[in-house]
Chains A and B, each alone.
Chain A
Amino acid sequence: MAPIPEPVEHLLEAALVGELTVIDGHGRPVTYPLIPLYDGERIYLTSSALFSRKLEHIRGNPKVSLSITDPVAVGGATDRATIQGDARVIEEDPHGGWERLLPIWEKKEPAIVAFLKVRVALPLFFERALIEITPRRVLYWPDGQAGTVPRLVTVREEAA
């Protein structure tokens, strides 16, 4: 897969929160703040079974976008980006399948490991599905200003 532009990768790696937008059954955008987890190729988010409405929407329409807009959540960086892509819900094992991304999650939210150790206190929170986003197009605002035309980058599939 062709790489996501480097500045946007930096935003993904730094962001404590991003805005995932999915499309509901009425064709309306619904936005959820979530922690973006980037493994260098694809973008992942996790969703607890408790807050699984977004998963229903994705099953109905996999076209999503993820925006990184909050300078406070990216250590002060002022550039902004929106990544459009196709989402896939991975839920073969809601109990533990998502834990393969725990190392990336822990870097952003160290306390999650301690919470997981006492999952008995909130068991359903740790029944989670993964949302895997394959990026298709990136809109990037180097100055973060909506008054500036964004740079558009089409992310191509890598040749097999």
Chain B
Amino acid sequence: MRTTPELGPRDGLDKLATYPYAVLTWIEPTGYPVSVAVDVDVDRSAGMIRFDRPAGLAVPLDRDISLTGSHIRPQPGYGYDERRHVTVWGVASVTDGDRLALAPSSAWGWDEAEVPFFEYSERSVSKARRYFDALSRERGTPVKPRLSLPFLVLRSTRLPFLSATIVPVVLGIVIAASHGSFDLLTAVLTVIGACLVQLAINVSNDVFDTMQGADDANVTPTQFSGGSRVIQYGLVSFRGMATLAAVLYAAGALVGLLLLALRGSPALLAIGVIGLIVGIGYTAPPLKLVYRGLGEVAVALGFGPLMLLGAYVVQTGGALSWEPFVASIPVALLVALILYVNEIPDRRGDAHAGKRTLPVRFGRATVVAGYRIAVAAAYVAIVAGVLADSWIAPLPMLAPPPSWPPQVSSAGITSFVTLPLGDLMLDIASMYRATGAGLPTVNGNSGFLPTHYMPLQRGLESRDDTALDALTTFGPMLVAVDRAASQSADRVAWLQRYSNSKEIFSDADATWFKLPARARPASACPDATVPVVAMRDWWGPLSANVLTDGDDATIWMTAETQHAGDLLVLDLGRVAHVDRAHLDP
């Protein structure tokens, strides 16, 4: 991996050969640079670049000139990518008649495919610092890079990483609550206190890492790397960060003391003290846990058992339990893995700074295997914890679809309906049960309520025989009346009264009826015309005029088009078979 954009002359020549043309540049006698695009022949074996003299321009043969190759790929709507460029320098000589030749003596360039832009930028931070130092000297007053306050707080405290604190703390509180111990005030204080201490640790680790040169040594940080780098960038001074850490520690300690006063217990005190020692000692001397190969263990301990048990004992007033400890194991592993994966890109810088992280100590295969094992262990811990604690039983599980009772035969049956129709869970159960028996079901829909579903539901719920008549014209039908639903006795009585129905089975879940097929009437509308006595929609009585006046703006009371869920009830004043409705003014 290159550490600077400097290249050897041979590398520069090889790279220049990959560009379709080169920009030839020299300094004119007027003192201005001049450039012209030329086609070049790169002779790799001879280490020579040859090109024609540009017409009308005098290329000097007694001083350094340069050839530059440059490439981008335009990306409309975005900008460009695939940035790379290379420049070689050398003194030109005349060759092959009137051609010129150049043997590179030095070169530089950058190819983002080799050195990603983020890394290239990080490698250039020292240049930015020199730039601001020079600007400060020139103006006689400090000139520094800036960030808006919210961004500066976000970056310097590494605020997004608070999720790794909030999760275990809230989990500890929830487990305590499930054990009957919950106090809102101390719960909120616990979250605030833990967050303050976490932020203090983040900031102080930056301070100690800077003291030991670790952050300066890391020139390949990622967005998730340990350090905020605000000191390296010159955004916050070393003293400023140290002060911020002290303030955050003080605020966290204040909350801790308040919690001790409210829920004082030796266990809480012990957990708090151990947590602080582990947090500060992560990078701070004399412990410097991360420098001794104990960084991952320290993070697992701090974000797992200490956070969870700490939150738990605040709520219980000191009582400890195995459950928060078991629950802390997967949290500990997963949070430690956040650190672990981000140690991988940092491993060169960490090694240089003397940090003995796992990726520094072990090879690629071991590091990858370690990640897989830890992830698997986290999930095994979750499953094992649930099983060991018999937490499965009280979990609210959705009941499995009801089975088809052996006393009920679906032979010769055309369709199946469960009453009441339109109850979401019953509709779903009915679909599962019918599918199991290979029967079409009346219940259920795809999520878009079909227009015929509501009238059918209303017909069945108003115990209208014609609703059953219509359904049985398709063939014999099974009806299951759910016994747990309200008015189930009324539905059963209605089915018992229904012509030729046969009650075939009843248990605590449902009463089953078989309804014979009915012949479809020769004329679906025995009465020639049945006048509409009254109409109403969702909003109440409705005048037929709004439907029949021919004015689009009054149709359906509004100018909106009809859609699923609209309701129009036509009251005929008596039971009648209706084939079609005709609205006539």
Residue positions of A touching B, CB distance < 8 A: 16-17, 19, 21-23, 26-31, 33, 48-53, 55-56, 61, 63-65, 67, 69-70, 72-73, 75, 80, 82, 84-85, 91, 94-95, 108-112, 119-125, 127, 136-137, 139, 141, 144, 146-150
Known: A33-B85, A49-B127. 9 other contacts (CB 8 A): A23-B27, A30-B66, A49-B131, A52-B131, A69-B37, A119-B147, A136-B32, A150-B56, A150-B57
1/0 contact trace for B145-168 toward A, CB 8 Å? Answer: 111000100110000000000000
A111 to B80, CA, bound (A): 9
Check if A49 sits within 8 Å of B87, measured CB to CB: no
> Which residues of B lie under 8 Å from residue A73 when comparing CB positions?
72, 74, 80
Check if B147 sits within 8 Å of A123, measured CB to CB: yes
Known: A52-B127, A150-B36. A19 touches B68 (CB 8 A): yes
Residue positions of B touching A, CB distance < 8 A: 21, 23-27, 30-39, 52, 54-57, 63-66, 68, 70-74, 77-80, 83, 85, 87, 89, 118, 121, 124-125, 127-128, 130-132, 134-135, 143, 145-147, 151, 154-155, 223, 233, 235
> Which residues of B lie under 8 Å from residue A139 when comparing CB positions?
34, 36
Check if B33 sits within 8 Å of A22, measured CB to CB: yes
> Which residues of A lie under 8 Å from residue B56 when comparing CB positions?
149-150
Q: Which of B21, B87, B128, B155 has the most CB of A within 10 A?
A: B128
Known: A28-B64, A146-B54. A124 touches B145 (CB 8 A): yes
Check if A144 sits within 8 Å of B65, measured CB to CB: no
Known: A84-B34, A123-B155, A139-B36. A146 touches B23 (CB 8 A): no
> Which residues of B lie under 8 Å from residue A33 when comparing CB positions?
70, 72, 83, 85
Check if B131 sits within 8 Å of A110, measured CB to CB: no
> Which residues of B lie under 8 Å from residue A85 when comparing CB positions?
32
CB<8 Å pairs between A and B, sample of 18: A16-B79, A22-B33, A31-B35, A49-B145, A52-B127, A70-B71, A73-B80, A80-B36, A82-B36, A84-B30, A110-B79, A122-B118, A123-B155, A124-B125, A124-B128, A137-B32, A139-B36, A146-B54
A125 to B117, CA, bound (A): 11
CB distance from A73 to the nearest CB of B (A): 6
CB distance from A78 to the nearest CB of B (A): 10
CB distance from B115 to the nearest CB of A (A): 13
Q: Which of A21, A112, A120 contacts B147 (CB 8 A)?
A: A120
A67 to B80, CA, bound (A): 19
Q: Which 7 A-B pairs have the closest CB atoms?
A: A149-B56, A109-B79, A21-B33, A120-B151, A67-B35, A49-B128, A52-B131
Identity of the chain B residue whose Cβ is nearest the Cβ of A61 in the assembled complex: B31
A119 to B32, CA, bound (A): 36
Main secondary structure of the interface of B (DSSP, over half): mixed
Identity of the chain A residue whose Cβ is nearest the Cβ of B153 in the assembled complex: A120
> Which residues of A lie under 8 Å from residue B35 when comparing CB positions?
19, 21, 31, 65, 67, 69, 82
A55 to B39, CA, bound (A): 30
Known: A65-B32, A111-B79. A95 touches B145 (CB 8 A): yes
CB distance from B182 to the nearest CB of A (A): 37
CB distance from A54 to the nearest CB of B (A): 11
A16 to B121, CA, bound (A): 21
Q: Which of B32, B65, B87, B132 has the most CB of A within 10 A?
A: B32
Check if B87 sits within 8 Å of A122, measured CB to CB: no
A51 to B318, CA, bound (A): 57
> Which residues of A lie under 8 Å from residue B223 when comparing CB positions?
121
